[in-house]
């Protein structure tokens, strides 16, 4: 593997994030803080406890996942779409750089930025509510795997999109509704039995449930199923990226 190529892509993407740190880092942290104020304080004053967990602490894993999903997709999709839009993608395709090196550079940078944001949100959450982490190793594993997986998914969106409008289409129309229906602010056990069954077809439920289990040892889905679900989605995304680069779909046309 050409380490110099990977480093060049990675450093360029990270430098772009720090040049726009107010939009890339500060804005998501402030938005999440508002969630803590609105849901943790306002709604939390009405719903004191969920699954024997203080409501303010209960929503922390869900809020971390909400931010991690959104930022991973946004960072990766914009990172690869910008070279397509400017035309510099052809220089990258003609350079002696392999698919693996391109993917590691772009997705590694997007995942790194998302993980930084996740850590900042965990620190910010401590200001609003005390919490503990029962399984820190599992928490780190879910953070890493979710950031990498959804950075990969965002990379696909960036390759597929041929306009800035399409770049936002899937995140707004599909990902955002799924995240808010994924149990970030409630347990799916609170839903009617029919909707509990339907909720299990939402992949975001598995992410949030796994993260909540890592924090408090309680989740709506078995933690092994949650972990396997993320791995399966990662394999599907990586396979799709390999197909895109092999066929040149949306790249050479």
- Looking at the DSSP bridge assignments, the partners of residue 53 are 50
**pTM tops 0.75, yes or no:** yes
Helix H or strand E segment including 78: helix 60-86
Q: CA 73 from chain center: how many Å?
A: 6
- In terms of phi and psi (left: phi > 0; alpha: psi -120 to 50; beta: otherwise), the region of 135 is beta
How many residues comprise the chain? 253
How many CB atoms sit inside 10 A of residue 80's CB? 25
Is the sign of the CA dihedral 68, 69, 74, 76 positive or negative? positive
Spell out the domain ranges in the chain.
3-247
Separation CA 231–CA 126 (nearest Å):
30
Supply the pLDDT for residue 214.
93
Separation CA 73–CA 50 (nearest Å):
30
Supply the pLDDT for residue 80.
87
Q: Give how far Cα 207 sits from Cα of 30, 125, 204, 249, Å.
A: 23, 19, 5, 30
10-residue mean pLDDT series, the chain (253 residues): 81 78 70 71 68 83 87 88 80 75 88 88 83 91 92 91 84 84 84 86 90 90 91 92 81 62
């Amino acid at each position: 593997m050409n380490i110099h190529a990977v480093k060049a892509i990675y450093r360029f993407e990270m430098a772009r994030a720090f040049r726009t740190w107010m939009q890339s880092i500060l804005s998501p942290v402030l938005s999440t803080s508002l969630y803590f104020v609105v849901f943790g304080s306002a709604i939390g004053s009405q719903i004191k406890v969920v699954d024997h967990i203080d409501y303010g602490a209960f929503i922390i894993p869900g809020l971390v996942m909400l931010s991690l999903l959104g930022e991973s997709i946004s960072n990766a999709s914009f990172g690869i779409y910008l070279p397509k839009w400017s035309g510099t993608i052809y220089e990258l395709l003609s350079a002696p750089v392999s698919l693996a090196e391109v993917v590691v550079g772009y997705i590694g940078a997007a995942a790194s930025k998302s993980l930084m944001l996740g850590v900042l949100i965990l620190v910010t959450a401590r200001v609003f509510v005390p919490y503990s982490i029962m399984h820190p190793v599992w928490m780190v594993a879910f953070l890493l795997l979710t950031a990498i997986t959804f950075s990969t998914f965002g990379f696909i969106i960036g390759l597929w999109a041929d306009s800035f409008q399409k770049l936002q289409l899937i995140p707004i129309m599909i990902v955002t509704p799924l995240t808010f229906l994924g149990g970030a602010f409630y347990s799916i056990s609170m839903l009617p039995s029919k909707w509990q069954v339907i909720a299990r077809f939402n992949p975001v439920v598995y992410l949030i449930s796994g993260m909540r289990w890592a924090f408090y040892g309680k989740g709506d889905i078995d933690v092994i199923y949650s972990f396997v679900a993320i791995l399966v989605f990662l394999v599907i995304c990586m396979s799709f990226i390999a197909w895109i680069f092999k066929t040149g779909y949306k790249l050479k046309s």
